[in-house]
Structure 1
């Protein structure tokens, strides 16, 4: 029986490990942290009983029915709609920008058609092909909404001017000309009743899978296995030979209170003068539960250092050039496939992470049957 190493016990590693185990492989899962589920890790707060998303909130949403059905084997999803609020200029507004936001902000009572026509007058139509985040915002919502809701928040989140960020980042944020304040627009949305860590535990609950936490995997360990799926940082695997790829990390300031602290799950802070990007109140992520006390976290974004947990890949020009060097090294590394957010240095939502892991496992099994070469990447990182 061949032995496979899976480095990382997040969704990428867990899904791949399970599929290979079900097809007769013996799988060793290792993770440097003391817990499962990576940045999706959830745990009960011992003082409030609230299910806490330890590395920031994760709200599941997808249009991928295959992924939805897969996860529902391992958990019961409870209804949850992410309704984000934002504080800007001393007032509270609804996000994403919708008809209520527009009417509140401009003191109007527009109909959908009137609002659309009005925003067209605000937009900078001279920008025909937006290249940067700022150009994208100015082209589609205009200067006032951009500066109120996006500019300061983005500067805090990414640590640079929106003129340095690609337009594609803002394309994730819709503008709606109705009163729909559901932050996401996917068919399937919800929260796992017992949290995300419980899902990963069940996925890894297979007799052919063994798990070692608090375990560092080194490049020299690769030869001990028939193949390695590596979901850690691609630059770390090569001991940062060409330098460190850029990430943003988060610091969390804990806030505890009796009752209800802010009245919603997520409150963004768009003003640049407020040092944190948002406050999340985690009791709201489990609305089917009742708690007399609450726990919240103010999030501060900053550059990721060597000892920090990487969250968001920066992927600006300097990082893209360095990534190309690591990709070439990876292609020459025998017996290793790089997967997931860190292994491919890409921002991935949970559903995409799971879909790619399922596809990677399927392709591996198919290539093994054909005695064909296993690629370094199942999804191209560049």
Structure 2
């Protein structure tokens, strides 16, 4: 039986779900409000320099999920790439995440791993037994000096509030290493698509049963005539924000070009609170197999998202979680719609997790179709 599906948004979630459904013989229509596919992963060549630019900020692919790794490589060749982040703090440059080199350089010492581990434990505030906030987590595990230098200012700029107002879980994602490993991620598979993410998503969407309509806005009245909707836009936006708006952080980019090598690395963070931007990214370093005379850089500024802004990071503070629960109830009462992706589920998702959930969603829908069961509003609960 051929079924007609409407997918909202032409990013990773819709591309993966749409491809799965199309290959099963169903008709897929994708509405995309922007004039390009790829969502916030969109890449394109800079006209002036030829550099492949991550238009909405850098996206680095890293995963331990072998099926997801094989999936993306079936559409685009991923070349080796290790994310090595530097930070400028208090007048010096250090490696992130905090590792043995960072610790020795910061304290002017030559400690071995076991010595550094004991030294950092001495710096830590061991009176904090059960850290609840970002600040408590940092003070408990690295102490005040490293917290002030590497976490406090950057976090205040990134999230627009004091680290004492943020949950400890945010910092738990950031490791401290007692060796000289400066690879930011620890996943088995890491790389960058040779021709950019947009080229990969174009190939995923290249199927006779998929129609993509760019510059096409969605409203719930357009769902008529479709058997099921997969919605990757903002969860609150589906309901016209009638209960209020969920909070997001957004990014402003100040693009500039130069010749040669501007900063010698792809990502340079700025940890001092008096520097208004969070980092500078130099995009040609994200494609180290290419050579370009010119270079393209972005200064990144983080702020609270306004209604007209592109949402990036869900805030998920207590007020948002209360409102989120109300929207989840509405979604669960809405038939024939499944909410997917970072915006649709109001969760911070890396690209590999987005693809994994999209694959799982598509497979679950196929099972529901076979068994005559109703598809839930969420395959992964936002709560």
TM-score interval, smaller chain: over 0.9
SS of the aligned residue for 1:78 comes to strand
Alignment correspondent of 1:331 = 332
SS of the aligned residue for 1:224 comes to coil
Contact 1:222 1:335 in 2 (8 A): no
**Map of 1:42-53 to 2, 5 A cutoff?**
42-53=43-54
Alignment correspondent of 1:174 = 175
- When the two structures are superposed, what TM-score results if normalisation uses the length of structure 2? 0.99
Aligned residues: 382
- Write the deviation string for residues 68-109 of structure 1: whole angstroms up to 9, x where unpaired: 011111010111110000000010000000000000000000
Alignment correspondent of 1:86 = 87
- Measured in 1, the distance between the counterparts of 2:342 and 2:296 equals 28
- Measured in 2, the distance between the counterparts of 1:80 and 1:72 equals 14
- Measured in 1, the distance between the counterparts of 2:330 and 2:152 equals 37
**Map of 1:171-320 to 2, 5 A cutoff?**
171-320=172-321
SS of the aligned residue for 1:307 comes to coil
Moved over 6 A (4+): none
- Measured in 1, the distance between the counterparts of 2:213 and 2:256 equals 33
Alignment correspondent of 2:96 = 95
Cα drift, residue 367 of structure 1: 0.8
What's the Cα RMSD here? 0.5
- Measured in 1, the distance between the counterparts of 2:172 and 2:199 equals 32
- When the two structures are superposed, what TM-score results if normalisation uses the length of structure 1? 0.99
Cα drift, residue 256 of structure 1: 1.1
Alignment correspondent of 1:73 = 74
- Measured in 1, the distance between the counterparts of 2:314 and 2:132 equals 19
- Measured in 2, the distance between the counterparts of 1:169 and 1:221 equals 38
- Measured in 2, the distance between the counterparts of 1:230 and 1:241 equals 17
Alignment correspondent of 2:62 = 61
- Measured in 1, the distance between the counterparts of 2:35 and 2:81 equals 29
- Measured in 1, the distance between the counterparts of 2:173 and 2:110 equals 27
* Contiguous gaps of at least 5 residues in structure 1: none
- Measured in 2, the distance between the counterparts of 1:121 and 1:90 equals 25
Contact 1:2 1:25 in 2 (8 A): yes
* Contiguous gaps of at least 5 residues in structure 2: none
- Measured in 2, the distance between the counterparts of 1:119 and 1:224 equals 62
- Measured in 2, the distance between the counterparts of 1:309 and 1:295 equals 22
- Measured in 2, the distance between the counterparts of 1:105 and 1:80 equals 27
Contact 1:76 1:193 in 2 (8 A): yes
Cα drift, residue 223 of structure 1: 2.2
Cα drift, residue 126 of structure 1: 1.1
- Write the deviation string for residues 24-76 of structure 1: whole angstroms up to 9, x where unpaired: 11000111011111000000000000000000000000000010011111010
- Measured in 2, the distance between the counterparts of 1:369 and 1:223 equals 23
Cα drift, residue 224 of structure 1: 2.2
- Measured in 1, the distance between the counterparts of 2:292 and 2:202 equals 25
Alignment correspondent of 1:21 = 22
Contact 1:4 1:227 in 2 (8 A): yes
- Write the deviation string for residues 149-176 of structure 1: whole angstroms up to 9, x where unpaired: 0000000000011111111111111000
Cα drift, residue 309 of structure 1: 0.2
- Measured in 1, the distance between the counterparts of 2:142 and 2:369 equals 51
SS of the aligned residue for 1:374 comes to coil
SS of the aligned residue for 2:224 comes to helix
- Write the deviation string for residues 340-362 of structure 1: whole angstroms up to 9, x where unpaired: 00000000000000000000000
Cα drift, residue 128 of structure 1: 1.2
- Measured in 2, the distance between the counterparts of 1:224 and 1:109 equals 69
